[in-house]
A and B are shown apart, each in its own frame.
Chain A
Amino acid sequence: MDLKERVCDELQKEVPKGASSTNFNTQHQQKWEDPSSTLDYSTRIEPPFQAFNQTSQTQSLLLCNNQIKVPMQDGSINDLLQASKIQDWDPSAMLNNLSFLEQKIHQLQDLVYLIIARKGQVLGRPDELLVQQQQLVTADLTSIIIQLISTAGSLLSSVKQTLSAATTSLGQCGEFGGVVFPSSAQRLNDGVQPQNAGGSKVSEPPNSIDITSNNGNEQNNHIVEEHELKDEEDAEEGENLLPGTYEILQLEKEEILAPHTHFCTICGKGFKRDANLRMHMRGHGDEYKTPGALAKPTKESSSEPTIIKRYSCPYAGCKRNKDHKKFQPLKTILCVKNHYKRTHCDKSYICSRCNTKKFSVIADLKTHEKHCGKDKWLCSCGTTFSRKDKLFGHITLFQGHTPAIPSDEIKVAPAGTSDGATNKVGSVNFNLSSYVSSESEVQSSSMDIKGGIDDAVGYFSPLSFDTCNFGGFHEFP
């Protein structure tokens, strides 16, 4: 908490420093989106930026008010941030960006002049064209802001740190209908301007850049946090993916639990594997027997950098859910399925041998059955161990625990109950862990900066920030 606050403060201190570029803060998302819907851009162009700056500052102040006040300090974190800034800052790229921004602003200026001129001609008539133009201005402004943020972001997000946990902001993005975020880590790190300089695709950058810049902040949080969180991290997710460098997909519960994922378009039969479906398709006609039809469908666009896909669990509050503060993405669909079944589903498979252990994934049952009955090392607390040294380690660790003596012929019923207790304890533990995680989330959301981001989700209206809109508008000028 301390560290997080410190970082928060650091970041807020950062704001005036980075005056040459734009202020960017986690709050920006909501800020720069707010004016677009409320302020009238047609009249004033420059002021929104100012207002934006101010509001962002006040907002961050507000944020600080919500939290416990921590005296400003120049700690090692600050040094770290500075150092990283100096290390990766590319002035020439920055200049490019700025000149591009200048051009863009001039364009916009022209457009607004045009609108003013036209306003004079057709007064008081709510014109369709006017609305469109307003939207266009908004879009352009947005892109300028984003450009600014990304320029500044190249300063901050260039801190190359290993990050395993994705951030909540990503989770938010996922809600916008699975927007594609290009893996822009390299670009960002190199400080290269986004490709909308050439006016190619506007659809992606606004989101992606925003998010990456956000992640710049998040990242800084994580740099500090990592020391305390290391042991919490899942070994499985040891990969060092920068948040925002991959696409997040979230399947629905029904999709996850569906027995089949591949369906025959002709007869509707379902398959678990695409290969099996292709084999099946052969029966529907000769056209499915061609080598092309039978071949494994290849990635069509080899020229584009392959987008890494990661998955989010649809269960709210789960650590694997993108909205979770310490979100850890799942690697594959199989991971999603197993995770969802194990964590959020009933354990319907019962071991026929011990009649106590339950599983929700049949493979787990099979693995257990291989070892069932071999867990002969039992602690008085009900925990079983397959190895004696593990039991003794456990007993050494816990005060008052003793090994339970296996009762062979004397008490059959007590043995059963003790086994039952074992199971209970196991499940209780499990539940506890999940409760703990959700609880901690609740606590932290009310306390730390990321909680603030979570709240910000509410301000995000998908209506005003729809990619389709942007895409449509880009065609316009």
Chain B
Amino acid sequence: MLLKPKMLSFQSSKNVLSLTEDLLVRIYELLAAESDRKSFRLVCREFRRIDSLTRRHLRVIRIEFLPILLGKYPRLQSLDLSACPRIDDGVVSLLLTRVGPGSNSPSLGHWAWGLKSLVLSRATGLRFSELEMLTRACPCLESVDVSYCCGFGDREAAALSSAVGLRELNMDKCLQLTDVGLAKIAVGCSKLEKLSLKWCMEITDLGIDLLCKKCVDLKYLDVSYLKVTNESLHSIASLLKLEVLGLMACPLIDDVGLQFIERGCPSLKVIDVSRCEGVSSSGLIYVVRGHRNLLELNAGYCLSELSTALLHQMKNLNHLEVIRIDGARISETSFQVISANCKSLVEIGLSKCVGVTNMGIMRLVSACINLRVLNLTCCHSITDTAISAIAYSCRSLVCLKVESCNMITEKGLCQLGSFCLLLEEIDLTDCCGVNDKGLEYLSRCSELSCLKLGLCTNISNKGLSYIGSNCLKIHELDLYRCTGIGDDGLEALSNGCKKLRKLNLSYCNAVSDRGLAYIGRLEELSDLEMRALHKITGVGLEAVAVGCKKLADLDMKHCEKVGDSGFWALAYYSKNLRQINLSYCGISDMALCMVMGNLSRLQEAKLVHLSNSTVEGVELALRACCARIKKVKLFAPLRFMLSSEILEILHARGCIIRWD
């Protein structure tokens, strides 16, 4: 698909232009990857015009370009500002004042009118007054995400409630939100269909009750981690359209409350009661009995045992696609019952389940041949026999998690590599049985995109080279404490896995500057963890900084040999860096100031035990970045050594300081 426009451009320009606009738009819309779209709009001016006309979604990384970008894309429907270091009041008012009459560029005014979706996740700098201006300026707003805006509370909720047409709202971890704010939203946004209130700890039954009475169209409701009681479930049960209900880790909910759910919520499809301490299998029996059409049942870590009574009820769940019963005791016969009745199962989660045996797994997969996701984390008694059975039966397996299943060897991986060619994700963390040979078999799964090999000490560069040469689509690789991995392995990796975005090299002691130079070839790399690489110096870091333009998250704790030259390079080149961990690094005051001040996207920094820097240096660095930093971890004694002024500034701007 990528080639298409390029090939066109090679032909005479007349031919390119002979394609009508709607055809070009169609071609453009078929481009899924952002990089492809980038290539498309670089072809010619006409293509660029198509891009700006057709573009619906915009994820802004640098706030300074936002006004220009908004002017360019008049058809924008979705705006994601979550990656911006800081959306503060000034930005919003700047954007909105340009909208007003008399502005020099009238095209700017259009962006807000068509906007349907707004992502303001982690926009901690925003105040309620600006939020209200923003929501008022966007009359068509249907979806707002203000998750992880920890300072948000009732005022912000009140501001959001002016978006009358709102259908989806995510307020996860808006810690100050109380029933009052929720009531504002419930009354103001009565069309709400999807609402997530995770970690909004102040919400009580009263708020939920009001919500359920006012927003009767709710289809998705997540009240995970809230201190709500069965009363809330009583209210929720009245929601006729509710399909998805998240009750994860609600400590005050018990079986009595689930009885209400049995009789209510006629449209319920998905329920998550995982980590609910009060819920037992009898509570789940109520749920299952009342909802024969349940698609997803998530009951991880709330069952001590998959009881026979529950199993008996589960026989009726013929449509069940996903079941997670992590942490429960399960018998071999239970697997038989599940496989005999729940034939449409797509995902099963058995993480840390006691009693998962080869025989059990074999019985399970004998009928559940549609399984795509299987989580067997910490099922220690699993051996190659079970893996072979899985591989043989479940040909469409996409994700397999067998963390810490020590008995898996290359034989099992051989079966996987032979039959599960659609496998995209495999977690082999802490599987000591995995060796180079095993990786060779595994590398036959060419669709593999996520591979976790942490603590697999038996693999070496050779094994990694198989991956590097065959698994070209890999984008996440975890080599945590794979001490056998060295620079050569990284070379093979960098040659093949060009799409690698996330890499963990922590404690791979053999990696040196040369290895980092190979890493620097990975242009897509955005997330690099390389703790305690004692061999690397500033040269290696410089190579990474120069090469990995997209690097956003860098963890280099305990890389003590890296000198200032590396940090200077980092400050100069890694403009996209968003998170950095410099703890226990030998960074000097100057370099620290440069890094913190120069990296304009930096939002989170961990600056503990900086051996070569002084209090003044840290203070200066904080001053340099205080306008945009959101979260900073500092050495605890500094609390009394830093000036109160800077601490106040940070606090006032919504920055969270963690003292360590």
Query: Among A389, A392, A403, which residue has its beta carbon within 8 angstroms of that of B184?
Result: A403
Cβ of A396 within 8 Å of any chain B Cβ, yes or no, is: yes
B63-122, CB < 8 A from A: none
CB of B187 to closest CB in A, whole Å? 5
Q: Determine whether the beta carbon of B206 is less than 8 Å from that of A403.
A: no
Assembled-state Cα–Cα distance A388/B181 (Å) = 13
A398-455, CB < 8 A from B: 400-403, 405
User: Which residues of chain A are near B184, meaning CB under 8 Å?
Assistant: 402-403, 405
Cβ of A395 within 8 Å of any chain B Cβ, yes or no, is: yes
Assembled-state Cα–Cα distance A400/B187 (Å) = 6
Q: Determine whether the beta carbon of A395 is less than 8 Å from that of B181.
A: no
Interface size on A, residues (CB 8 A): 10
User: Which residues of chain A are near B158, meaning CB under 8 Å?
Assistant: 402, 405
Encode B160-183 as 1/0 by CB contact (under 8 A) with A.
Answer: 010000000000000000011101
Encode B199-235 as 1/0 by CB contact (under 8 A) with A.
Answer: 0000000110110011000000000000000000000
Encode B237-264 as 1/0 by CB contact (under 8 A) with A.
Answer: 0000000000000000000000000000
Q: Determine whether the beta carbon of B210 is less than 8 Å from that of A396.
A: yes
Query: Among B154, B181, B210, which residue has its beta carbon within 8 angstroms of that of A392?
Result: B210
User: Which residues of chain B are near A396, meaning CB under 8 Å?
Assistant: 209-210, 213-214
User: Which residues of chain B are near A401, meaning CB under 8 Å?
Assistant: 187
Query: Among B183, B207, B209, which residue has its beta carbon within 8 angstroms of that of A402?
Result: B183
Given the known interface contacts A405-B155, A405-B158, the answer about A392 and B187 at a Cβ–Cβ threshold of 8 Å is no
Encode B281-296 as 1/0 by CB contact (under 8 A) with A.
Answer: 0000000000000000
Cβ of B566 within 8 Å of any chain A Cβ, yes or no, is: no
Query: Among A389, A402, A405, which residue has its beta carbon within 8 angstroms of that of B188?
Result: A402
Give the most central of A388, A395, A403: most B CB within 10 Å.
Answer: A403
CB of A405 to closest CB in B, whole Å? 5
Q: Determine whether the beta carbon of A405 is less than 8 Å from that of B187.
A: no
Given the known interface contacts A388-B179, A405-B158, A405-B180, the answer about A395 and B187 at a Cβ–Cβ threshold of 8 Å is yes
User: Which residues of chain B are near A405, meaning CB under 8 Å?
Assistant: 154-155, 158, 180-181, 184
Give how many A-B residue pairs fall within 8 Å (CB-CB): 34
CB of A401 to closest CB in B, whole Å? 7
B136-161, CB < 8 A from A: 154-155, 158, 161
CB of A473 to closest CB in B, whole Å? 71
User: Which residues of chain A are near B210, meaning CB under 8 Å?
Assistant: 392, 395-396
For B212, give the chain A residue with the smallest CB separation.
Answer: A396
Give the most central of B155, B188, B206, B214: most A CB within 10 Å.
Answer: B206
Q: Determine whether the beta carbon of A392 is less than 8 Å from that of B188.
A: no
For B204, give the chain A residue with the smallest CB separation.
Answer: A388
For A392, give the chain B residue with the smallest CB separation.
Answer: B206
Assembled-state Cα–Cα distance A401/B206 (Å) = 15
User: Which residues of chain B are near A392, meaning CB under 8 Å?
Assistant: 179, 183, 206-207, 209-210
Assembled-state Cα–Cα distance A389/B180 (Å) = 11
Encode A300-340 as 1/0 by CB contact (under 8 A) with B.
Answer: 00000000000000000000000000000000000000000
Q: Determine whether the beta carbon of B187 is less than 8 Å from that of A402.
A: yes
Assembled-state Cα–Cα distance A173/B213 (Å) = 53
CB of B243 to closest CB in A, whole Å? 24
Assembled-state Cα–Cα distance A405/B177 (Å) = 11
For B207, give the chain A residue with the smallest CB separation.
Answer: A392
B276-309, CB < 8 A from A: none
CB of B179 to closest CB in A, whole Å? 7
For B213, give the chain A residue with the smallest CB separation.
Answer: A396
Assembled-state Cα–Cα distance A392/B154 (Å) = 15
Q: Determine whether the beta carbon of A388 is less than 8 Å from that of B206.
A: yes
CB of A226 to closest CB in B, whole Å? 33
CB of B169 to closest CB in A, whole Å? 16
Q: Determine whether the beta carbon of B187 is less than 8 Å from that of A389.
A: no
For A388, give the chain B residue with the smallest CB separation.
Answer: B206
Given the known interface contacts A396-B213, A402-B188, A405-B158, the answer about A389 and B181 at a Cβ–Cβ threshold of 8 Å is no
User: Which residues of chain A are near B183, meaning CB under 8 Å?
Assistant: 392, 395, 402-403
Encode A68-90 as 1/0 by CB contact (under 8 A) with B.
Answer: 00000000000000000000000
Encode B334-358 as 1/0 by CB contact (under 8 A) with A.
Answer: 0000000000000000000000000
CB of A400 to closest CB in B, whole Å? 7
CB of A410 to closest CB in B, whole Å? 9
**B residues apposed to A, CB below 8 Å:** 154-155, 158, 161, 179-181, 183-184, 187-188, 206-207, 209-210, 213-214
24 contacts between A and B (CB under 8 A): A388-B179, A389-B206, A392-B183, A392-B206, A392-B209, A395-B183, A395-B187, A396-B209, A396-B210, A396-B213, A396-B214, A400-B187, A402-B158, A402-B183, A402-B184, A402-B188, A403-B179, A403-B183, A405-B154, A405-B155, A405-B158, A405-B180, A405-B181, A405-B184
Q: Which 3 interchain pairs have the tightest Cβ spacing?
A: A403-B180, A402-B187, A392-B206
Given A392-B209, A402-B158, 16 more pairs with CB closer than 8 A: A388-B179, A388-B206, A392-B179, A392-B183, A392-B207, A392-B210, A395-B187, A396-B209, A402-B184, A402-B188, A403-B180, A403-B184, A405-B154, A405-B155, A405-B158, A405-B184
